[in-house]
Structure 1
Amino acid sequence: MHWPVAFGRGDSMFPKDNNGNTINGDTDFVDTWKAMEKTFKKGKAKAIGISNFSRKETERLLKETEVVPAAHQIELHPYLQQNEACAWFRSKGIHVQQYSPFGNQNEVYSKGQNMGKLIDDPTLVEVGKKYNKNGAQVALAWGIAQGHSVLPKSKTPSRIKDNLEGDFRLEQADLEKLKGVDKQMRFNDPSANFGWNFYIDEDGKVA
């Protein structure tokens, strides 16, 4: 099961069985996209996009459909920079949106719980001191510097305020430093839950 989406994601939108397990469908994602194209062409949606597609899957989508996705939501942060993939999506006219910009800060991810938080990484903290910012704010500024839309999530007013202060410009020398923290480490892989092998041939995919 794969999902083309406009904007918004999360397993709460999917039907569950009596045991709370996701009920997976068997509809081809190209057919789903074609239905969404009809909605777009009728003016009922200003934009339609995708989430968690690999380049190979996106190539098929572009080949077999008409409307280029406006945006692509993928896990992106300094530990999973995916520079080659992001450049490829941009070359196709697809804007990249970052979810999980703080990496393993999200408690629902099983991977990364037994390691230090990305936002406490010494390099991020060091760079942040130069700008009087914290590691989380540096992670947001890194994403903005890549030309991405960055999607932090918080319910805490103080953290929401901090996130808004992550909109600042990092100097090139600091961006070069941050390149060095890339671990190609993916924290979110819902393949087992959704019955679809996500991220084939993409950075951070664990077989």
Structure 2
Amino acid sequence: MEHPRTILLSSGDQVPAIGLETYLTKPGDVDRIIAEAWNVGYRHFDCAAYYGNEATIGNAIKNAQLPRNQLWLTSKLWNTEHAPDRVGPACDQTLRDLQCQYLDLYLMHFPLAFVHGKGPIPRDAHGNVELEDVPIIDTWRAMEALVDQGKVKNIGVCNFTLGQMRELHTQARIKPAVHQFECNPYLPQHRMVDFCKEHNVAMTAYRPLGGQVDGNGPVVRDDPTVGQVAQKLGKTPAQILLAWLLTRGIAIIPKSTHPDRLRENFVDFLLGPEDLQAISAILRRHRGCDPAARLGPNLTYLTKEPM
């Protein structure tokens, strides 16, 4: 069963269902990867100020002469820029770096504000991240203004808890168009998916193949159930994992620097009900991107909800 190539947003825009994550992409690889991804069919590039490579990506897009009206560019507001008077300048810097006049989607990278001016991850003497008292809704209002100004077509969030999603949805003038969160069979996010579908919030899954940020942890594509479905359908385990997300209506942003993997990840099918249920029935749980583990125990609330 072939899957739709785009997912409709509440604004009426259509985001490409398969994008390319650019986190940790080495500067020397960017030109090659952007050009190769474009040739495969990728039109959605997922970026972020925190990744530190937006200027390189902007140059690669320019060098490849990719038409802006055929690209979907996503970027993210970093945690140190949550104060309302810093949101606009942060977005302007991203626009300059990516060499574009507007973003298709601008996301709040995390639902918390870090102290500004002490580096990207300011820490106190105990190793905890130093937080700034900026209500989420205040940052969101400044992001809404970016839409009003035409700098951003759509706005959304990343890594929000269910409670934070409910609160923002109630308070927002422009409702979140997209929620990007970690999702794979070991972190299925069933309750979050139900909420987003109920409230017409499109979803994007990062780390769709599992594993941890540092490359350790269980590899979901090695799961025996995934292997069985892959063998049955004549697909690779990675393709089964990506198709599982697309079948649930979730956009995907797998990361790869290898041409063969770029093609492998650009899947063109959905799972049937039996295979969808088999993957969804996997019970093992693991979170690869754990803010509390990486940033400090004062952030445990971000990951305490059921997976």
C-alpha distance in structure 1 between counterparts of 2:213 and 2:47, whole Å: 19
**1:199 matched to which residue of 2?**
302
**2:139 matched to which residue of 1?**
32
SS of structure 2 residue aligned to 1:97: strand
Give 5+ residue unaligned stretches, structure 1: 1-6
Q: For the Cα contact (< 8 Å) 2:213–2:288, is it kept in 1?
A: no
**2:187 matched to which residue of 1?**
80
2:279 to 171, 178, 190: 178
**1:168 matched to which residue of 2?**
269
Q: Kindly tell me: are residues 40 and 20 of structure 1, through their superposed partners in 2, closer, same or farther at Cα, counting changes over 3 Å?
A: closer
Q: Aligned AA for 1:190?
A: P
Deviations 1:28-57 (A, max 9, x none): 222111100011122221101100001111
**1:22 matched to which residue of 2?**
121
Q: Which moved more, 1:57-66 or 1:141-150?
A: 57-66
C-alpha distance in structure 2 between counterparts of 1:185 and 1:160, whole Å: 25
Query: Once the 2 structures are TM-superposed, how far is the Cα of residue 185 of structure 1 from its aligned partner?
Result: 2.2
SS of structure 1 residue aligned to 2:194: helix
Structure that is richer in strand per residue: 2
Say which one has the larger Rg: 2
Q: Which moved more, 1:191-200 or 1:126-135?
A: 191-200
Deviations 1:114-154 (A, max 9, x none): x4x11111111110112211111100000000001011111
Q: Kindly tell me: are residues 10 and 168 of structure 1, through their superposed partners in 2, closer, same or farther at Cα, counting changes over 3 Å?
A: farther
Q: For the Cα contact (< 8 Å) 1:103–1:187, is it kept in 2?
A: yes
Query: Once the 2 structures are TM-superposed, how far is the Cα of residue 109 of structure 1 from its aligned partner?
Result: 5.4
**2:234 matched to which residue of 1?**
132
TM-score (normalised: structure 2)? 0.56
Q: Give the percent of matched residue pairs that are identical in Structure 1 and Structure 2.
A: 29
C-alpha distance in structure 1 between counterparts of 2:209 and 2:193, whole Å: 18
Paired residue total = 192
Q: Which runs of structure 1 show a deviation greater than 6 angstroms over 4 or more consecutive aligned residues? A: none
Q: For the Cα contact (< 8 Å) 1:109–1:188, is it kept in 2?
A: no
SS of structure 2 residue aligned to 1:103: coil
C-alpha distance in structure 2 between counterparts of 1:148 and 1:173, whole Å: 18
Query: Once the 2 structures are TM-superposed, how far is the Cα of residue 22 of structure 1 from its aligned partner?
Result: 0.9
